[in-house]
Amino acid sequence: MADWRHGKKDRTDIGIAPVTIDDNAWIGMGVTILKGVTIGAAAVVGAASAVTKNVEPFTTVVGDPARVINSTWQHAERAEIAAAAKRGHQP
């Protein structure tokens, strides 16, 4: 991971937003993640991908720009497991 901000004030109109990487997410080598993006729990981002928008939990994304190639759980199951993980419990 690299950070070019180094505590300096942003003097552009581009703006600054944090990147959030949730528990058990895997980020491949050479990935670029744009500002304000959230990588969901147990998501996988393939090497050299460019993530331009949020990645849902339990999905795999690859490419430039990153696109979903796999989703390991149905939506309802994903929500239940993500909620349990936030509480620190096994589903």
- Which tens digit of pLDDT belongs to each residue from 25-71? 999 999 999 999 999 999 999 999 999 999 999 899 999 999 999 88
List the CATH number of the domain containing 47: 2.160.10.10
Domain count of the chain? 1
Is residue 59 included in any domain, yes or no?
Answer: yes
User: Which segments within the chain are labelled E, that is strand?
Assistant: 20-21, 26-27, 32-33, 38-39, 44-45, 50-51, 59-62, 67-71
C-alpha to C-alpha distances, 55 to 16, 70, 91, nearest whole angstrom: 19, 11, 21
Task: Please report the pLDDT score of residue 86 as a whole number.
Answer: 80
Q: Which domain holds residue 76?
A: 20-87
Is residue 46 included in any domain, yes or no?
Answer: yes
Residue 22: its H or E element:
none
pTM for the structure as a whole: 0.69
